[in-house]
Amino acid sequence: MTGVEHISRSGKPAVVAHRGASAELPEHTLAAYELALDQGADGLECDVRLTSDHELVCIHDRTIDRTSNSAGVVSEMTLAELRELDFGSWHESGKKSSVLTLRELLTLTLDWRRPVRLFVETKHPVRYGSLVEQKLLGLLHEFGVGMPPSADHSRAVVISFSSAGVWRIRRHAPMLPTILLGDTARLLGGSAATAVGATGIGPSVETLRLYPDLVDRAAAAGRVTYCWTVDELVDVQLCADLGVRWVATNRPAKVRDWLVTV
């Protein structure tokens, strides 16, 4: 199986901005993603959920209670209702922001002045049959990134804790890279990633500290490693030493600086 080419400059792990530059600005907002790109991130990570009118929006939680000035379940609200709300002022930066759709984030990513990858995490897709994958693949096709010539050249990567979700993407878009996320070595060191045909594995950094051999074991099976959430120097060093391909961080500027020194 093919690996996925580095977009980073040095052969060291590429830096993926987790929910944008989310240590500095409210997560999943246009401002947080623009800041991450300005800071030189190689990739952007976002979580996606379906609204009641079947739009994919970039929101992590099942509800909007933590990250907006209102309350409610994302899947029970329309996009128009979400657009009325403020998704920024809860954050210490106090920056007012609108809800961000996946369409808007794809536009930002693909129009950026240098190549950047978008890591789209499908949250609990099994709750919606295959609707999340259908909507996601439909959007990726519309933007011309749904059928990459190879995983190496893809501008989008689909990531999920759901093996069913990864498997459905592989079935409909075999060249689109996928990462099976997990926070147990049992899952990622075993046959789960092989069974669903994932391009890579995505352990948490806590899992990687306990089971550093996961990276070599994945590589032996032709898989790359994406590690989250890597916000401390000691963990950046660990990932660089182990040959992790991508590190997802809330602090992309800091991690880029550290990568020069490790």
Binding site for ligand G3P (CB under 6 A): 18, 45, 47, 60, 121, 181, 228, 248
We find the least distance from the C-beta atom of residue 47 to Ca ion, in angstroms, to be: 4
| Nearest residue to the partner ligand G3P, using Cβ | 228
- Contacted entry of ligand G3P, Ca ion, none for residue 133, CB cut-off 5 to 8 Å set by kind: none
Cα 64 from Cα 41, distance rounded (Å): 27
Provide CB contacts within 8 A for 68, sequence distance 6+: 85, 86, 87, 90, 99
The residue among 20, 104, 108, 127 whose CA lies nearest residue 55 is 104
**Cα–Cα distance measured from residue 173 to residue 25, given in angstroms and rounded to the nearest whole number:** 34
Choose among Ca ion, ligand G3P, none what residue 44 binds, the Cβ cut-off being 5 to 8 Å by kind: none
**Rounded distance, CA 110 to CA 87, Å?**
23
Smallest gap from residue 228 Cβ to ligand G3P (A):
4
Of 55, 121, 133, 235, which lies in the binding site for Ca ion, with binding defined by CB under 5 A? Answer: 121
Task: Please count the other Cβ atoms lying within 10 Å of the Cβ belonging to residue 252.
Answer: 29
- Any idea which residues carry the catalytic annotation? 18, 60
Distance CA 48, CA 33 (A): 15
We find the least distance from the C-beta atom of residue 20 to ligand G3P, in angstroms, to be 12
Q: Which CB sits closer to ligand G3P, 45 or 133?
A: 45
Question: Considering beta carbons, is residue 24 or 47 the nearer one to Ca ion?
Answer: 47
What six digits make up the tokens of 2? 């093919």
Shortest distance, position 37 Cβ to ligand G3P, whole Å: 17
* Residues that bind Ca ion in the complex, under the rule CB under 5 A: 47, 121
